[in-house]
Amino acid sequence: MSEINKPSHGEDEYFAKEETERKRALALKVKRETSQAEAKRLKELHFMRCPSCGHEMHEVPLRGVPVDVCFACQGVFLSHGELKEFQDQIAAGKRGVVASILNWFRPEVEGVKGK
């Protein structure tokens, strides 16, 4: 019986990068074609709303960086600038950013899981 050749990790990564680039190019095209009035309407409709569940997001400082957090679904949103600030902190030897984020969503009562 013949074996089925599975794609290598490198192939998977190549196709994932290609798909990401296609999505990025399409998003940039849509952004260019969106009128200023429509862009303003969309921003007003979605500003500080969780992209996952639609609930209100809250700006919470984390290591001096304002991070948008949804306490309803435990989503965390980092803009490009915020992500860059964390990358700079990590490059400077500061660690523990992920642990700090996870701490926001710990159960309110010690020992209670799955709340």
In this predicted model, what pLDDT tens digit does every residue of 24-34 receive, in sequence order? 889 888 888 88
Question: What are the tens digits of pLDDT across the range 51-108?
Answer: 899 999 999 998 888 899 999 998 988 888 888 887 788 777 776 766 666 666 666 5
Q: Enumerate the domain spans of the chain.
A: 6-47, 48-115
Encoding tokens for residue 37? 């009035």
The answer to whether the CB of 80 falls within 8 A of the CB of 115 is no
Whether this prediction's pTM lies above 0.85 is answered by: no
Q: Which fold has domain 48-115?
A: Ubiquitin-like (UB roll) (3.10.20)
42-58: b or e for each residue (b if 16 or more CB lie within 10 Å)?
eeeeeeeebeeeeeebe
pLDDT attached to residue 114: 47
Residue 115 confidence class, pLDDT cut points 50, 70, 90: very low
Write phi, then psi, for 21 (nearest 5 degrees).
Answer: -65, -40
Two tokens, residue 36? 């200023």
